[in-house]
């Protein structure tokens, strides 16, 4: 069966069929997958039973350099011994569900805020590849927002107003909005990065809002005015018409473009049921 794409949403998101990503090495198929990412921003692949090493290897074939400086590394060591393999789970190093008052659980709760991966680094994240390992009986969906369509829907005057603005992104900031406390040593490791508020793709010619819960302020504006604008843009970009909700199945792999989308996790009974996924993120290096 040849590689083909089927739209899952009127504006973005496609399901890719006819490919086993663990075995894809030829340039033609990899190029077709990259073109699919340019078109859809999010690609869903079913029946992709990756091992950790296979997921890492495919990510490197697909897009090169991997992000290995995660925010969680400032708190504790990666249980897999490889920071490029991000542990998206609610379990400890022994596989037991984290207690309700565990600091690691409180840190992970911020994944329910709208965000884009590794925007707090320079270079930031490009593609994220998230693979299911253990799913709870219900809930724990992931929502995605189309930041290209959100930008397109802005008025011409507002687009002009936003052009050239830059934003500071900090993963410490996003957690602090939920009351999470960092030590001075942790904060020193999480200084953040500055990126344009509007990103432009030289491949597609489209512009996209580059927002996240990590976005702390607009550097060119006063702090209150900048925070108000960021809040208004987030509310605009996450209206229902711009959002797709993914209901995970066993062995799903979802790839998204962090330059053109935001995402957030949805709640589930995380004090009762295990949920384990592995994420690999590539860096936005030309």
* Backbone dihedral angles phi then psi of residue 37, each to the nearest 5 degrees: -65, -40
Report residue 85: phi and psi, to 5°.
-105, 95
Q: What is the pLDDT of residue 69?
A: 73
Domain map of the chain by residue range?
4-283
Work out the number of other CB atoms within 10 angstroms of the CB of residue 163. Answer: 12
How far apart CA 24 and CA 68 sit, in angstroms, is 23
The pLDDT, as a whole number, for residue 275 is: 96
**pLDDT (0 to 100) of residue 1:** 63
Give the whole-angstrom CA distance, residue 66 versus residue 285.
10
Angle between helices 27-40 and 52-63 (to 10 degrees): 80
pLDDT of residue 189: 85
* Nearest alpha carbon to residue 57 among 18, 24, 27, 10: 24
Say whether pTM exceeds 0.85. yes
**Per-block mean pLDDT, blocks of 10 residues, the chain (286 long):** 93 98 96 98 98 97 88 75 92 93 92 96 96 95 98 98 97 94 89 97 97 97 98 98 98 98 96 95 92
pLDDT at position 74 is: 63
For domain 4-283, give the fold. Answer: Double-stranded beta-helix (3.60.130)
Distance CA 2, CA 209 (A): 34
Reduce the secondary structure of 66-97 to three states and give it as a string: ECCCCHHHHCCCCCCCCCCCEEEECECCCCCE
pLDDT for 286 equals 74
Per-residue 3-state assignment (H helix, E strand, C coil) for 123-180: CCEEEEEEEEEECCCCCCCEEEEEHHHHHHCCCHHHHHHHCCCEEEECHHHHHHCCCC
Instruction: Please state, in angstroms and rounded to a whole number, the distance separating the CA atoms of residues 280 and 43.
Output: 15
């Amino acid at each position: 069966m040849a590689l083909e794409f089927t739209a899952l949403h009127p504006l973005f998101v496609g399901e890719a069929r006819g490919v086993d990503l663990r075995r894809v090495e030829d340039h033609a198929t990899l190029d077709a997958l990259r073109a699919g990412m340019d078109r859809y921003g999010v690609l869903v692949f079913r029946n992709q039973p990756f091992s950790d090493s296979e997921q890492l290897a495919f990510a490197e074939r697909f897009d090169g350099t991997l992000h290995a400086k995660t925010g969680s590394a400032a708190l504790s060591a990666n249980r897999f011994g490889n920071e490029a393999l991000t542990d998206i789970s609610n379990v400890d190093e022994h596989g037991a569900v984290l207690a309700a008052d565990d600091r690691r659980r409180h840190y992970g709760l911020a994944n329910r805020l709208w965000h884009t991966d590794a925007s707090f680094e320079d270079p930031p994240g490009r593609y994220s590849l998230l693979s299911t390992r253990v799913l709870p009986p219900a809930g724990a969906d992931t929502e995605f927002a189309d930041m290209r369509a959100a930008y397109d829907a802005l008025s011409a005057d507002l687009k002009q107003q936003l052009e050239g603005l830059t934003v500071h992104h900090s993963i410490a900031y996003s957690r602090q909005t939920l009351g999470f406390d960092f030590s001075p040593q942790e904060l020193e490791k999480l200084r953040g990065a500055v990126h344009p508020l509007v990103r432009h793709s030289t491949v597609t010619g489209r512009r996209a809002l580059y927002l996240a819960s990590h976005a702390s302020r607009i550097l060119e504006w006063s702090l209150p005015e900048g925070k108000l604008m960021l809040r208004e843009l987030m509310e605009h970009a996450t209206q229902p018409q711009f959002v797709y909700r993914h209901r995970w199945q066993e062995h799903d792999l979802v790839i998204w473009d962090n330059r053109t989308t935001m995402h957030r996790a949805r709640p589930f009974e995380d004090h009762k049921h295990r949920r384990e996924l592995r994420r690999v993120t590539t860096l936005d290096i030309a």
